Structure 1
Amino acid sequence: MRLLFVTSEVFPLIKTGGLADVSGALPIALRSLGVDIHIVLPAYRGIRSQCTPAKRLGGLKVFNDIDCELYQTTLPGTNIPLILVDQPALYDRDGSPYHHPQHGDWQDNPLRFGVLSKVAAILANKNNLLDWQADVVHCNDWQTGLVPYYLKQMGSSVKSAFSIHNIAFQGNFHPDWRHRLTLNDRDFQPEGYEFFGHVSFMKAGLYYADALCTVSPTYAREIQTEQFGFGFQGLLQHRARALTGILNGIDTQAWDPSQDVHLPVHYSEKKLGNKAKVKQILQEELGLNKDANCPLLGVVSRLTHQKGLDLLLEIAQALIEQGCQLAILGGGEPKLEQDFLGLMQRYPGKVSATIGYNEPLSHRMMAGVDIFVMPSRFEPCGLNQMYGLRYGTIPVVANTGGLADSVSGGTVTEDGKLPHNMTGFVLPENTASTLLVTLQQAIRMHANFGHWQQLQKQAMKQDVSWKTSAKHYLTLYQRMFKH
């Protein structure tokens, strides 16, 4: 199976969220199953310097006014070929892959990701640059949504799978972009790439790909409803037979408390004692009062309405008055950032808020906090709750998407036993009062050393690796050739 994996971010080279983690780990798991995989990524500023010296494959005319150079190196730490699309005017910039430093979207994002999509479609077919041709192109989120369209436009026999990581981000742009991107006018219609009068990269992926997949079975069902479909529920119901939900895994080597390079001391399911030492050192690092017994609640997240963290703000005072500490790491909506910083000023020694992205600190927090809080309004998959399971940091999650698929709730039975399948706490509904009640249940269990340690061990026994999921993806690719 020859697979071209197209993505707008990949860990460890460039990361804004979970897509990068998936793009860094899934190809490795597929490679271990014998898949011949190449990754395609834009050559953002600083990317080439992080890789082994790249070999120039050649130049490519993408559109009439856009040329690019292609370079091949390997994904760091692996022997997986990585093809970089080098177009300095589009990719060599400050800021994130999608936003300029002042937080607004890059105005030419349609061109930047239209070029990525077109290059991937060209590379998937026989070409003069690669002595290799794909059987399947695996596209990820709206940034690669035009790949299936370009393949159809070329009359290609290469199959395409389109992964929906978050259907709320759709890549909808002014209709004039269809000319610059060489999209056929006749396809600018509901049975095509048009979406409410816009050129929609997401719609193109959903409409033209041979197979659709998303990052958890529950999310695959949810996006076919009005509440979670963000306008695409009708199309997804129509294409339900082509849609598969496959739960993400995590990189269990990078996220392993027994050898994590970012931790001051290591621990495991069999040797849990050192987890308390990580907590003590974390409290010191974050300026929190050193208190081994107080429940330390953690958040590592984008600070956005989707993540439901306004609900945590509503009940923060009640939690602090009950003796809890809060540690927050993340960035996003300015109001949420300011609210958490304000909370830290109001409760010094009891609340820590670190604004921004900090990979080493995220590892120490996943290991050092007791309870991980994730009350998302919707969550396609979520990875942090799986990091929590892996690290014996008990997740309290909303009953949605991948959170529902990866965390099993429960309560202590009448005879005082913990359900053997319980791995965390699941909110019956997403309200501030329900979040408070559920966190209070977790806090009460935290006070019972025997129950808490049993729960930690049950959480740490869960298989959160990519092994099973990668097999499901391979089955999906193989199934495309039977139709």
Structure 2
Amino acid sequence: AADWAATASILTVHNLPFMGSGGGTALGEYGLQAAREPLLPEWARSLPLPLGMVHADWITTVSPAYAAEIQTAAYGCGLEAFLASRSARVRGILNGIDPAVWDPASDASLASDYDLHSLEKRRPNKAALQAALGLPVEPRIPLLAMVARLDVQKGVDLALEALTRLADSPWQFVLLGSGDPAIEDRARAFAELRNRHVRFVPAFDPGLARQIYAGADVVLAPSRYEPCGLVQLIAMRYGAVPLVRATGGLKDTVTPYAVGGKGTGFLFGPAEAPALADAIRGALGVYSDQRRWIGLQRRGMAQDFTWVRSARAYAELYLEAAAVRRTGWGGSP
């Protein structure tokens, strides 16, 4: 018992709304009590995630922005007062990707391998993707894409409505994902009405996802909230320019395009279709100038989102938490 008393505990929150269930039954079976934390709502005191957070010395999330957001009423799911009271012990550390797993220079799924210094070799991937999906093979038409779980969180409905507002602009769109049947039905109807330039693939298909990252010009991530997100990281690694909502890890990893060779993608604010449509319109404008567009691609591909940086941050936190426990400063939360 003494050994455990000196051991620090850290709990990582990935997606706060998913708090678990059935905690009350388990507590009763093991003779344990619900949380007594007064800042926790009554309904949360027997749920697994809030229980874990109450008893953890530190709480981490998968991005700095999400760590701040969950301490607000907009994103805190009713736990914001409790989380804000622990703000000194809430830390956001970005997720990462494995560059050996996600490597366009050696990806067997692709029609043509390429890297940061050979972007011209990326072009056959767009043509191959268009042909495989039955889209007109048009190298100059911007190809927009989403690879997403079809859930209200991911903002698929926002993307469909925004694209409806851009009917006067030339573009192609592919959506890969499965999930909520209502969203699937809406996406299917959207694609059927625009079958010359839209494709919806209702599936989980890792190989096709890689081909989309390598062939698309723009990858959309219009999430209503996003703890971290990997889509935008993979997109940049593969030379697809991310267009994301300014929330959570999306905001932390994509810097807004600006004239003068700055930025790695495009961001928009309100979770509303008009704002997304304006952002897409802006991206299409930059796409028309391939010199600027290639600069955007290269800046994205040059970003370091490997696990090395994340692992270093976690190691530093573990050492800090252990030192705090050892010295007794602050004690248990």
TM-score by length of 2: 0.92
CA distance in 2, matches of 1:467, 1:289: 41
Residue number in structure 1 paired with 2:193: 346
Q: Which residue matches 2:293?
A: 452
Deviations 1:116-165 (A, max 9, x none): xxxxxxxxxxxxxxxxxxxxxxxxxxxxxxxxxxx99x965443211111
> 2:177 — aligned with what?
330
The alpha-carbon deviation at position 179 of structure 1 amounts to: 2.2
**In 2, are the aligned partners of 1:374 and 1:395 still within 8 Å (CA)?**
yes
Confirm whether residue 299 of structure 1 aligns to residue 149 of structure 2. Answer: no
Alignment counterpart, residue 171 of structure 1, candidates 16, 20, 25:
20
Aligned position for 2:62: 215
Q: Which residue of structure 1 aligns with residue 9 of structure 2?
A: 160
More deviation in 235-244 or 168-177?
168-177
> What CA deviation, in whole Å up to 9, does each residue of 1:94-132 have, x standing for no partner?
xxxxxxxxxxxxxxxxxxxxxxxxxxxxxxxxxxxxxxx
Distance, in Å, in 1 between the alignment partners of 2:39 and 2:318 is: 24
Letter in 1 for 2:221: M
User: How many angstroms apart in 2 are the aligned matches of 1:331 and 1:195?
Assistant: 35
Q: Which runs of 5+ in 2 are unaligned?
A: 325-333
Residue aligned with 2:103, SS = coil
2:284: which partner in 1? 443
Of the candidates 255, 259, 267, which is equivalent to residue 408 of structure 1? 255
| Alpha-carbon separation, structure 1, partners of 2:158 and 2:206 | 25
How has the CA–CA distance of structure 1 residues 188 and 206 changed in structure 2, closer, same or farther, with 3 Å as cutoff? Answer: closer
Structure 2 CA distance for partners of 1:204 and 1:441, relative to 1, 3 Å: same
Partner of 2:81: 234
User: Would the aligned equivalents of 2:44 and 2:50 in 1 still touch at CA under 8 Å?
Assistant: no
Paired AA for residue 418 in structure 1: G
SS of match in other structure, 2:74? helix
Structure 1 spans left out of the alignment, 5+ residues = 1-150
Alpha-carbon distance between aligned partners in 2 of 1:432 and 1:194, rounded to the nearest angstrom: 34
Per the alignment, residue 359 of structure 1 pairs with: 206
Contact map agreement 1:320 1:350 (CA 8 A) in 2: no
**Residue identity (%):** 33
Instruction: Describe the shift of the 1:364–1:195 C-alpha distance in structure 2 as closer, same or farther (beyond 3 A).
Output: farther
Distance in structure 1 (CA, Å) of the matches to 2:16 and 2:301: 30
Alignment of 1:205 onto 2:205: no
Aligned to 2:157: 310
CA offsets 1:262-305 (integer angstroms, 9 cap, x no match): 21211111000121100110111112111111111000011111
Higher strand share: 1
Q: 1:195 to 1:269 in 2, by over 3 A?
A: farther
Question: What is the aligned residue count?
Answer: 324
One of 314, 321, 327 as aligned partner of 1:473: 314
Q: CA, structure 1 residues 301+183, in 2 after alignment: closer, same or farther (shift >3 Å)?
A: farther
Distance, in Å, in 2 between the alignment partners of 1:340 and 1:321 is 20
Match of residue 274, structure 1, among 121, 137, 142: 121
> How has the CA–CA distance of structure 1 residues 276 and 318 changed in structure 2, closer, same or farther, with 3 Å as cutoff?
farther
Of 290, 310, 316 in structure 1, the residue corresponding to residue 137 of structure 2 is 290
Name the SS for the 2:10 alignment partner. strand
1:377 aligned partner:
224
Say which structure is richer in helix: 2
Query: What is the RMSD of the two structures over their aligned residues, measured on CA atoms?
Result: 2.1
CA separation in 2, counterparts of 1:165 and 1:188?
21
Asked whether the 8 Å contact 1:193–1:200 carries over to 2, the reply is no
Shift of 1:177: 3.5
Distance 1:258 1:209, change over 3 A: same
Is the CA contact (8 Å cut-off) linking 2:41 and 2:79 kept in structure 1?
no
- Deviation string for 1:376-428 (max 9, x for gaps)? 1111111110111111100111111111110010332xxxx332xx1001113
Q: Which one-letter code corresponds to 1:434 in the other structure?
A: A
- Report the Cα distance in structure 2 between the residues aligned to 1:379 and 1:444, rounded to whole angstroms: 27
Closer/same/farther in 2, CA of residues 451 and 402 from structure 1, 3 Å limit: same
**Alignment check: 8 A CA contact 2:61 2:91 kept:** yes
Q: What letter matches 2:301 in structure 1?
A: M
Equivalent positions of 1:86-165 (< 5 A) are 157-165=6-14
Paired letter, 1:402:
G
Q: Distance in 2 between matches of 1:286 and 1:197?
A: 46
- Asked if the contact 1:280/1:291 (under 8 Å) is kept, the reply is yes
2:261 maps to 1:418 = yes
| SS, match of residue 298 in structure 1 | strand
> 1:175, 1:197 within 8 Å by CA — same for their partners in 2?
no
2:72 to 207, 221, 225: 225
Q: What does residue 184 of structure 1 align with?
A: 32
Q: Which amino acid aligns with 2:261?
A: L
Residues 446, 205 of structure 1: CA spacing in aligned structure 2 closer, same or farther, 3 A cutoff?
same
Alignment TM-score, normalising by the size of structure 1: 0.64
**Which range is displaced more, 433-442 or 259-268?**
259-268
- Quickly say closer, same or farther: Cα 1:183–1:228, change in 2 above 3 A: farther
Q: Is the 8 A contact 2:35 2:54 kept in 1?
A: no
Whether 1:263 and 2:110 are equivalent positions in the alignment is yes
Contact 2:45 2:51 in 1 (8 A): no
User: Of 203, 225, 250, which residue of structure 1 is paired with 2:97?
Assistant: 250
**CA, structure 1 residues 200+292, in 2 after alignment: closer, same or farther (shift >3 Å)?**
same
